[in-house]
Amino acid sequence: MNKIIVCIKGVPIPGTIKVDSETHTLKRESLELILNPNDRVAIEMAIRLKEIYDFKVIVISMGPPNVIPILKHAYALGCDEMILLSDKIFAGSDTLATSLVLAKAIQTLSPYSLILTGLKSIDGETAQVPPEIGALLEIPSITNVKKLFKQNGFWIIIRENEYGEEELELSEPFVASINSHTFDYLRPPSLKRLLEVKKIEPVIFTANELGLSPEQVGLKGSPTQVINIFEKKIEAKGTIMEGSPQELAEKLIRILKTKDLI
Amino acid sequence: MVLEEVKLENLEKGHILAFGECYKKMIHPSSFEILTPLKEISESLRKKLILICLTASLEETENFEDLKKCLADEIWFILNPELKDFKDDLWARVLAEIVKNSRPYGFFFPATIIGTSLAPRLAGILKLGLCAHVNSLELKDNQIIMARPTYGENVIAKLISKSVPVMATISLGTFPINYKNKEPLIKKVIFPETFSWESKLKIKRFFPTKKKITKLSAAKVIVAGGRGLKNKENFQKLFELAKLLNAEVGATRPVCYEGWAEEERMIGVSGVTVRPKVYIGFGISGALQHTVGMENSEFIIAVNTDKEAPLVKIANVAFITDASILLDILIEKLKTMK
Ligand SMILES: Cc1cc2nc3c(=O)[nH]c(=O)nc-3n(C[C@H](O)[C@H](O)[C@H](O)COP(=O)(O)OP(=O)(O)OC[C@H]3O[C@@H](n4cnc5c(N)ncnc54)[C@H](O)[C@@H]3O)c2cc1C
């Protein structure tokens, strides 16, 4: 059966990361990770394609073991297999090192038809991993895809950019990152699958098993490095006005007048 | 126009490259923006700043005159009919050849959709580091240090890239466009006969956007809304206010994700940077990811129920009240004044 691989990421709950003002390191207030919301859309796309074309959907994530509940959630939504790429030496990987780990794992799954990803993760917001995976696997990468379907043995894709929408034709395999506003409806997990997934665990691959050395991944394998991280302190500088909304509206209008807006 | 021709293998080496996005008959203005910080860097490093443009032909480019005034020392055109459409794989291969042959010190892209699709593909081919959505560049001991807001609310990370060329995409609207008097030297790069212009992508159709592109980055007055407006209906009131004040409507990321506003209206690292004369933020907390995109506004007004909100602190004037109630009264009053 043909395969679709969906790459997903566990991200910290927004607002739970702070900077330690003394050590200039990140402090995580909670270790809990949630599914990157943009990846939810890629999962939905994969499952819809599975329903039409009978694919097997493999969901794959690089991260610490606390990503496992997220992989299981993806299973409950309709993915068929779960793979976790987890190793202490992966920590600190930048997008290139992350893409290398994902590409190595994806190679072991060859042949496959499609690799789908979210447009970007909400923590890093780089959107770099999908094209990097495509380049490393030497297959095409297309970003911001809104529609995908098969026609005469080819895939037809609609993607969006600043200029408009383009319709493309290409043959598999390729990587596509999915536009985050593609669907109006995202299915809930199925009860049956929620029960099923209690009894199964994702397959875990370590660096060694993927044939990756410590020089290729993690901090060592990452060409980009954070050299400093700091919190920007702000001090109040302006006037604070309080009162009834009526009074405040009057004051605001007066200010707008001095700025020649009215 | 007859251009000086230079063979791929004879390209000058060791300079700073910037990607000039030439697409659909236009040079994207963000390509001129990124030349502003790069000009300073290249001058300090005593290197040339070179704009790299891929396109099918020169004749069609509507804003070609802007190119002649831009800050680049040289412009290198790669011209081929196959470059009429944006084909990620082919364009990245072309740029990889340019990099291999000209061994630049840095290569920078505007963070447009094409830029952010192309730069990582190139970085992947050449196994180079790539920093995303950078909004400040500086030199320290001849090393390029890049900064961008990251993670939590008010956190800035400074980054370096150990691989050469140093690569980054630069946030849209972050830098003003500057021009100079001296015309850049324009060259055409000749690729060897053996280079394949084939792509696995076939662009079959193009549907131009019908939406009018919002002119946020050029707006003189911006009324922006955040989660404090509570719902889409309240957010809609901003459009009414904008009409009355001749303003554009801006938004924070969460409300764009909620669908209250189109993503083109997002202000901040992931959206656009604005510099209006007056910015009014309704129910916006003022997270750094948002404020980097508006902190250079001439006059900032915040409307928030929370006195401690960061936007209240950076504002010239802050109104501590319910944003949507204030909006209603404001619109009412302005209407009767007209
Ligand atoms: C990698 C990354 C990139 C990001 N990029 C961007 C970006 O480009 N642009 C962006 O905007 N954000 C971005 N964000 C998100 C950013 O961190 C903030 O979460 C976001 O800006 C907050 O939006 P907000 O102010 O609308 O919502 P909130 O932070 O929830 O603030 C709502 C505010 O409304 C006030 N409020 C509540 N009720 C009322 C009321 N009745 N009347 C008046 N005020 C009220 C509250 O006091 C609060 O201050 C990014 C985040 C990450 C991690």
Q: Are A42 and A6 a contacting pair, CB within 8 Å?
A: yes
**A196-225 burial by CB neighbour count: b if 16+ within 10 A, else e?**
ebeeeebeebebeebebeeebbbeebbbbb
Q: Which CATH class is domain B4-190?
A: alpha beta
DSSP letter for B3, please: -
Q: Which CATH superfamily is domain A3-205 in?
A: HUPs (3.40.50.620)
* Domain residue ranges of chain B, discontinuous segments joined by +: 4-190, 216-337
Tens digit of each residue's pLDDT (9 = 90 or more) over A101-133: 999 999 999 999 999 999 999 888 899 999 999
Using pLDDT thresholds of 50, 70 and 90, give the confidence band for residue B211.
low
Q: Is B304 in the pocket of ligand 1 (CB under 6 A)?
A: yes
What residue of A is the nearest CA neighbor of B201?
Answer: A170
Beta strand B143-150 with A164-170 is: unpaired
Residue A134 CA to residue A142 CA, distance in Å, equals 9
B269 lines ligand 1 (CB under 6 A): yes
CA distance A201 to chain B (A): 30
Instruction: Please tell me the distance from the alpha carbon of residue B165 to that of residue B246, in angstroms, as a whole number.
Output: 45
CATH topology of domain B216-337: Rossmann fold (3.40.50)
Spatial distance between the Cα atoms of B172 and B194, rounded to a whole number of angstroms: 36
Dihedral sign computed on CA atoms, order B191, B196, B201, B207: positive
- The predicted pLDDT at position A230 comes to 81
Output the CA torsion sign for A256, A257, A260, A261: positive
Percentage helix, strand, coil for chain A under 3-state DSSP, each rounded to 5: 30, 30, 40
Q: Where are the alpha helices (DSSP H) in B13-167?
A: 29-33, 35-44, 64-69, 88-102, 113-126
pLDDT of residue B212: 59
CA A84 to chain centre: 15
Q: How far is the CA of B286 from the centre of ligand 1 (A)?
A: 6
Atom of ligand 1 nearest to the CA of B153: 17
Angle between helices A129-137 and B113-126 (to 10 degrees): 40
pLDDT in the model for residue B2: 78
Considering the entire predicted model, what is its pTM? 0.86
The tens digit of pLDDT for each residue in A154-210 reads 999 999 998 999 999 999 999 999 999 899 899 999 999 999 999 999 999 999 999
B248 lines ligand 1 (CB under 6 A): no
Cα torsion angle, B72, B272, B219, B24, sign: positive
ipTM confidence: 0.91
Instruction: Tell me, in angstroms, the distance from the centre of ligand 1 to residue B70's CA.
Output: 36
Q: How many CA atoms lie within 13 A of B6 on its CB side?
A: 20
Cα(B21) to centroid(ligand 1), Å? 31
Of all protein residues, the one whose alpha carbon is nearest to atom 27 of ligand 1 is: B227
> Which chain B residues are closer than 8 Å to A133 by Cβ?
124
Strand partners, A116: A6, A176
Pocket test for ligand 1, best of B159, B289, B326 (most atoms within 8 A of CB): B289
Instruction: List CB contacts (< 8 A) between B118 and chain A.
Output: 131
CA distance A10 to A26: 17
Compute the distance between CA of residue A30 and CA of residue A17 in angstroms, rounded to an integer: 8
User: CA B242 → CA B112, B233, B327, distances in Å?
Assistant: 27, 15, 11
pLDDT of A213 reads 97
Preferred mutation among B24, B89, B166 to probe A, highest tally of A CBs within 10 A: B89
Sequence-ordered alpha helix ranges (H) in chain A: 37-53, 68-77, 95-107, 129-137, 191-198, 245-258
Distances (CA, A) of B73 to B2, B17, B38, B317: 18, 10, 11, 44
Whether B54 has a pLDDT exceeding 90, the answer reads: yes
- At CA B158, angle to CA B153 and CA B164, rounded to 5? 140
Q: Which residue has the tokens 């203005």?
A: B29
In eight-state DSSP terms, residue B9 is G
- Share of residues in chain B with pLDDT > 70 (%): 97
